[in-house]
Amino acid sequence: MRVLALDTSTSAVQAALVDLDDDELFLTAFRREVNARGHVERLAPFIEGCLADAGRTRADVDAVVSGVGPGPFTGLRVGMVTAAAFADGAGIPVYGVCSLDGIGGNTRGRALAATDARRKEIYWAVYDDGRREGEPQVCRPSELPETRADYAIGEGASKYAGELPMDAETEPVYPDLVKLVELAAPRLLAGAPSERLTPLYLRRPDAQPAAAPPAASA
Amino acid sequence: MKNDSAGDNAPVVMGIETSCDETGVGIVRGHELLADAVASSVDEHARFGGVVPEVASRAHLEAMVPTVQRALDDAGLTLGDLDGIAVTAGPGLAGALMVGVGAAKAYSIATGVPLYGVNHLSAHIAVDTLENGPIPEPAIGLLVSGGHSSIMMVEDLAGKVTQLGASIDDAAGEAFDKVARLLGLPFPGGPYIDRAAKEGDRAFVQFPRGLTAAKDMERHRYDFSFSGLKTAVARWIEARRAEGEDVPVNDVAAAFQEAVCDVLTRKAILAAKEHGVETVLLGGGVAANSRLRALATERAEAAGLTLRYPRPKLCTDNGAMVAALGSHLVAAGVAPSRIDFPANSSMDVEVVSLANRL
């Protein structure tokens, strides 16, 4: 089956077409641009570009897989709404995968996958031989709890290498779309029901309830 | 075929609107409204006393696909029946706009239906076609909402809309929200002030009419200012309280509302007369205000002008208005937008649609 995979949880705007047959995965087209403010402009042309590169049309896509964060909200939402609307428009199912798993899922040993949460914070999770331990978190690099991770990887790791207690990959690594499809493969192959994608925000909106207005009489 | 978009062959267009706190999806066939699905996050904003952009954006993402599905169900159509998809590309809240624009692009790619990125303000004008049929051109549009207060000259709804004047500070709807808060009325303030004002005395106190003094009428002939009015109301309430007296909410609401409606209608009628235009349109959320409608009707009649406005539900933000503009663009043969157009929070008021350009 042919899967459209999208992730906009980091500054990389990413789209790919991945063929999934039994447990074989094959990347047939891939577009990526590191452009933290370009999600809404770049993503749709990337989908069209991937289809053209692979010599396919929209009718050839059987399912959509989307990273659901955590990630900076505005860009993350663009990818998720694109995935949900494309799937709805094409009448095919959509499945969500934690974007950090697209980084940590490819690691060996104990690794910290970290992306840039802005405001001097990182989104992170710990992986043991590629398997995530617990839920993703957000905090300042200097405030990480004891993770026993041997190294850190991801955009958040390269950016904050100096503040992290473990070695960090100096090159930014972005969520691997083939990995996201692999993690969704059981659902894809089983024809699981389409999902309502829920972003991993990990933070509440910044807003203070208004002070009570002064009383007035009628 | 300009303006000839009634009938069975008229373009069927779905419009998506997410510029503020309403997730709107409307479907029209020419001037016929087929569906108007709106999911509002207004209740979530009420406790903050105003629209919180991040709260609005989160609600848009949740509501987007279900609202599209609801609109299609209501219209009894499928995406394959559409001749176009139109979406508000701006102006509005950046993060909120991006949800609608992202969705519209994806629906367009997934279905092959042409996409039109359109201007929110022109859509507020176009929605009147759903109520009153083709708009005679030229027309003057008085657009008043929580985000905008503008007088527009509509020479061609498919491409030539110019702004004659606008608020130099707060939008009229913003002033309603702020004064409602001063009076202890809920958010959004417009409907509550309108209701309270019905029981009040419009002439109870004469609040200032911004930018109507002789020298302002030279420099800001068609512009508005509502920030001073809001301050004047606040001072009046303070002074009243300092004297230990009660604040008569209904009377203050009526007097404030009168000041806003007086300036809005006075300048819109003036613009029509001075430009030799015979039709004036009201649009935007504040156009749902009963006093604005009454005063505009009275003054248009006195000036021998035709006044048009849609029903209140079409005045506030919705997808039907975007669909109405989209259908007009398709009928007029305007080219679809490029797939890489941005969401533009400060989109120029004079750009009706992003036809083949950025």
Closest listed residue to residue B117, CA positions, set A40, A118, A189 = A40
Which B residues 289-328 touch A at CB under 8 Å?
Answer: none
E strand or H helix that includes residue B179? helix B172-182
Distance from CA of B69 to the nearest CA of A (A): 9
Residue B312 pLDDT exceeds 80: yes
Whether B148 is in a domain gets the answer: yes
Whether B358 is in a domain gets the answer: no
Show contacts of B45-51: CB within 8 Å, 24+ apart: B45/B21, B45/B187, B46/B186, B46/B187, B47/A209, B47/A210, B48/A207, B48/A208, B48/A209, B48/A210, B49/A209, B49/A210, B49/A213, B49/B177, B49/B181, B49/B187, B50/A210, B50/B177, B50/B187, B51/B20, B51/B21, B51/B93, B51/B146
Q: Give me the mean pLDDT over the B51-73 stretch.
A: 97
Retrieve residue A15's tokens.
């789209």
Same domain, B302 and B167: yes
Q: Does B184 touch chain A (CB under 8 A)?
A: yes
Distance from CA of B214 to the nearest CA of A (A): 36
Residue of chain A with shortest Cα separation from B62: A198
Q: Does B168 touch chain A (CB under 8 A)?
A: no
Residues in A closer than 8 angstroms to B339, CB to CB, are 44-45, 48
The confidence band for B47, taking pLDDT boundaries of 50, 70 and 90, is confident
Residue A218 pLDDT exceeds 90: no
Which B residues 38-77 touch A at CB under 8 Å?
Answer: 47-50, 52, 54-55, 57-58, 60-61, 64-65, 68-69
- Residue B233 CA to residue B230 CA, distance in Å, equals 5
Q: Does B275 touch chain A (CB under 8 A)?
A: no
Residue of chain B with shortest Cα separation from A74: B95
- Residue A79 CA to residue A63 CA, distance in Å, equals 15
Residue B183 pLDDT exceeds 80: yes
Nearest to B181 among A80, A213, A218 (CB): A213
Average pLDDT for chain B: 95
Which B residues 244-273 touch A at CB under 8 Å?
Answer: 246-250
E strand or H helix that includes residue B116? strand B115-119
Same domain, B227 and B259: yes
Q: Give the number of domains in chain B.
A: 2
Same domain, B148 and B98: no
Whether B108 is in a domain gets the answer: yes
Distance from CA of A205 to the nearest CA of B (A): 6
Whether B192 is in a domain gets the answer: yes
Same domain, B151 and B212: yes
Residues in A closer than 8 angstroms to B341, CB to CB, are 41
Same domain, B327 and B214: no
List pLDDT tens digits, range A92-106.
Answer: 999 999 999 999 999
Residues paired with residue B88 on neighbouring β-strands, in sequence order: B118
Residue B213's CB is within 10 A of a number of other CB atoms, namely 11
DSSP B13-49: EEEEE-SSSEEEEEEEETTEEEEEEEEE-HHHHHTTT
Residue of chain B with shortest Cα separation from A42: B340
Show contacts of B158-162: CB within 8 Å, 24+ apart: B158/B2, B158/B328, B158/B329, B158/B332, B158/B334, B158/B352, B159/B332, B159/B334, B159/B352, B159/B353, B159/B355, B160/B352, B161/B119, B161/B121, B161/B122, B161/B125, B161/B349, B161/B350, B161/B352, B162/B350
Domain that holds residue B211: 137-309
**A81 and B107: CB-CB below 8 Å?**
no
Same domain, B228 and B121: no
**A218 and B107: CB-CB below 8 Å?**
no
Nearest to A80 among B61, B182, B250 (CB): B61
Distance from CA of A77 to the nearest CA of B (A): 7
List pLDDT tens digits, range A68-81.
Answer: 999 999 999 999 99
**A84 and B52: CB-CB below 8 Å?**
no
Q: Which residues have CB under 8 Å from A164's CB, separation 6+?
A: A112, A114, A141, A144, A152, A157
CATH at B245: 3.30.420.40
Same domain, B149 and B29: no
Same domain, B164 and B204: yes
- Residue A110 CA to residue A166 CA, distance in Å, equals 11
List pLDDT tens digits, range A29-44.
Answer: 999 999 999 999 999 9
pLDDT-wise least confident of B47-51, B222-226, B229-233, B327-331:
B47-51
Whether B301 is in a domain gets the answer: yes
Residue B315 pLDDT exceeds 80: yes
Distance from CA of A82 to the nearest CA of B (A): 5
List pLDDT tens digits, range B261-302.
Answer: 999 999 999 999 999 999 999 999 999 999 999 999 999 999
Enumerate domains of chain A plus CATH numbers: 2-99+175-190 (3.30.420.40), 102-168 (3.30.420.200)
Q: Please, what is the angle between helix B290-302 and helix B189-198, to 10°?
A: 70
Q: Does B99 touch chain A (CB under 8 A)?
A: yes
Same domain, B254 and B211: yes
List pLDDT tens digits, range A90-141.
Answer: 999 999 999 999 999 999 999 999 999 999 999 999 999 999 999 999 999 9
Residues in B closer than 8 angstroms to A41, CB to CB, are 340-342
The confidence band for B43, taking pLDDT boundaries of 50, 70 and 90, is confident
Q: Give me the mean pLDDT over the B58-84 stretch.
A: 98
Name the pTM for this structure: 0.94
Residues in A closer than 8 angstroms to B68, CB to CB, are 85, 88
Same domain, B106 and B188: no
List pLDDT tens digits, range A191-213.
Answer: 999 999 999 999 988 876 665 54
Nearest to B109 among A58, A84, A88 (CB): A58
The confidence band for B1, taking pLDDT boundaries of 50, 70 and 90, is very low
Average pLDDT for chain A: 94
Whether B267 is in a domain gets the answer: yes
Q: Give me the mean pLDDT over the A162-188 stretch.
A: 96
Proportion of chain B above pLDDT 90, given as a percent = 92
Whether B292 is in a domain gets the answer: yes
Whether B7 is in a domain gets the answer: no
Same domain, B75 and B182: no
Closest listed residue to residue B292, CA positions, set B172, B127, B152, B122 = B172
Predicted confidence at residue B344, as pLDDT, reads 95
Predicted confidence at residue B132, as pLDDT, reads 96
Q: Which residues have CB under 8 Å from B9's CB, separation 6+?
A: none
Determine the residue among A62, A82, A119, A203 to mutate to test chain B binding: the one whose Cβ has the most chain B Cβ atoms within 10 Å.
Answer: A82
List pLDDT tens digits, range B214-248.
Answer: 999 999 999 999 999 999 999 999 999 999 999 99
Residue of chain A with shortest Cα separation from B61: A81
Same domain, B78 and B218: no
Do the Cβ atoms of A134 and A180 come closer than 8 Å? no
Nearest to A85 among B95, B107, B247 (CB): B107
The more confidently predicted of residues B337 and A215 is B337
